[in-house]
Amino acid sequence: MTGFTRRQFHQSVLSAAAAAALPRVAGAETAPLLRARTGSARLAPAEYPETRIWGYDGTVPGPILRAQQGQRISRVFQNDLPQASSVHWHGIRIDNAMDGVPGMTQAAVEPGATFLYDFVLPDAGTYWYHPHNRTYEQMARGLYGALIVDEATGAPEVDLDEVLLLDDWRLSDDAQIAEGFGNMRDWSHAGRIGNWITVNGDGGWSRAVPRLARMRLRLVNTANARIFTLAARGLEGWVVALDGMPLEAPQPLAELTLAPAQRADIIVDVVAGEGEEAFLVSFERDGGYAIAAFRVTHAARETRMTAPDALPPNPVPALGPLESARRADLLMEGGAMGGMAGAMMGGQMMEMREMVAAGKVWAFNGMADMGDTPLIEANRGETVRIAMTNDTRWQHGMHLHGHHFRQIGRDGALGPLRDTLLMNRGETAEIAFVADNPGDWLLHCHMLEHSAGGMMTWLRVL
C-alpha cells in the first residue's frame, strides 16, 4: 500500500455436549449487552476514508471491561454480524462453560442470537476478549477488546493506567480491510501480516503526560500473526506482569517481545524532558517506528518515585513434583518449507497436496484436525508436562486455555506464569501446569491462520 507516512509498514465438533446453552443465571435479563456489529473506524490518517470494521459495540477496540479481582463479569453477547461468532475471554482461568469455544464449550452464536457470559475473575491483571469462530477473519476485521481485572488489594501506585492494544491491519489503498482471509500463502507462512499498525485503533496514538509521571501501561498484542518487538524511548521502568500474571520481582524494561495474544504490564516513569516526546517503538524489518507517543508537559514531581514492589501474586497453585507429572509430547509440523509429506485428516492419511486443498497445512502429532481424543487427560489437581517441538520453519505462539503454565528451562529453572509461549523455529519447549480447572481446553497456535490451518489440539481435565 502506498501513501501512508511515518508509521507505515511497508472446526470440528468434538462432542454432543456442545448443546446450545441458554441463559440460566438469575439476573441475566439485567446483564449489559455486548454487541458484535459492523461499524467504521478512523484507522488511517485523515486523508483516507474511514475503515469499515466489525467491532464489539461497533468500535475498535471494543469497550474496556473492567472489574475487581474476585468479582463477576456478566454480559449478554448479541451477535449482529453476518456470521456466527462467540466470545473467548483470553487468559481468564474461567469456568469451562464460559470459555467461548464453538463446538466444544458452547454452540456458535448465530446471527441475531444471544449468549449469556457470566463468570468469576480469579486473577487480577491484563486480559482480553475476542471471537473464537472464524477467528482469523473476525479478529482481522476488528473484533477484540481489553478485560482488565483490578487487584483487590496492593495495586501499584501510579498516576496513569493505560491500556494499549497493539494491532496490525491489512488495508487496501482506500484504507479498507483487505479480503483474502483464506489465503493459503498466509496460512502456510507467517500468517496474515498487516501493512498498518494501530494502538487502540489509532494509527497515530498520542497523549499528554507530565514529566516524571508514573504510568502503568498494559500492552496487548491483538494482531492475527505479527510478533511485536518493542522498546521505550524517554520512558524508563520495569516489566511487572506477563500474560496477566505478576512477575515475582519487577524486571528492568529493555526490549520486549510480544507474540500474538501475549500481554505485558509495564510500569514506567516519564523521563523525557518537558516539551519533548516519549515513545513506544516497534522494530520492523526496516527500522523502528513510534507506535505510541507521549507529549511531555510540566513535571508531576521533582524526583522520580522509588522502584515499585512486585504486584501481589494471583492464586495459581504451585506445581507438584515434576518427575511424577503426567506427560505428553507435541510435535508441531507443516507449513511452507517444512517438508511434511502428509498427515491424518478426518481419520484418513492425506498427502500434503490434498491437505492444502482442504485448507490444512499444519499438524500436531501427525494430525491436521482436532481428533476426538484429547492430547492428554488429567485428573483434577494433577501436574501436567507437555514437551513441544517446533519442527517447522516458522515461529508459533502456543496458547493454552483455562490455565497458566510455566516453561521448564533446560537447567530445570521455571519460567514466569504465562498463557501463551513464543516458540522459535526448531525450538523445543516444555511447559508444566496444575490441571486444576475441569473441562475441555484448547491448546493451539495463536497465529490465527496457523490454528485454522491445523495447529489446534485439546486437553481434558476430569
For ligand C2O, which residue has the nearest CB?
90
Give which of Cu ion, ligand C2O, none residue 447 binds (C-beta under 5 to 8 Å, depending on kind).
Cu ion
Give which of ligand C2O, Cu ion, none residue 401 binds (C-beta under 5 to 8 Å, depending on kind).
ligand C2O
Residue number, 211 or 418, with CB nearest to ligand C2O: 418
Our finding on whether 134 is near Cu ion (CB under 5 A) is no
Of the ranges 3-11, 47-55, 425-433, 441-449, which one interacts with ligand C2O (CB under 6 A)? 441-449
Our finding on whether 385 is near Cu ion (CB under 5 A) is no
Q: How far is the CB of 238 from ligand C2O (least distance, A)?
A: 26
Residue number, 75 or 130, with CB nearest to ligand C2O: 130
* Identified binder of ligand C2O from the candidate list 35, 75, 444, 450, rule CB under 6 A: 444
Our finding on whether 146 is near ligand C2O (CB under 6 A) is no
The CA distance from 246 to 416, in Å, is 8
Our finding on whether 445 is near Cu ion (CB under 5 A) is yes
Give which of ligand C2O, Cu ion, none residue 406 binds (C-beta under 5 to 8 Å, depending on kind).
none
Our finding on whether 450 is near Cu ion (CB under 5 A) is yes
Burial class (CB in 10 A: 0-12, 13-18, 19+), 18: middle
Q: How far is the CB of 392 from Cu ion (least distance, A)?
A: 8
Our finding on whether 192 is near ligand C2O (CB under 6 A) is no
Q: How far is the CB of 198 from ligand C2O (least distance, A)?
A: 19
Q: How far is the CB of 244 from ligand C2O (least distance, A)?
A: 12
Residue number, 76 or 92, with CB nearest to ligand C2O: 92
Our finding on whether 261 is near ligand C2O (CB under 6 A) is yes
Of the ranges 105-113, 264-272, 292-300, 445-453, which one interacts with Cu ion (CB under 5 A)? 445-453
Our finding on whether 446 is near ligand C2O (CB under 6 A) is yes
Residues 363-402, one symbol each (x = binds ligand C2O by CB under 6 A, - = not), give ------------------------------------x-x-
Our finding on whether 403 is near ligand C2O (CB under 6 A) is no
Q: How far is the CB of 303 from ligand C2O (least distance, A)?
A: 41
Residues near ligand C2O (CB under 6 A):
88, 90, 130, 132, 261, 399, 401, 442, 444, 446
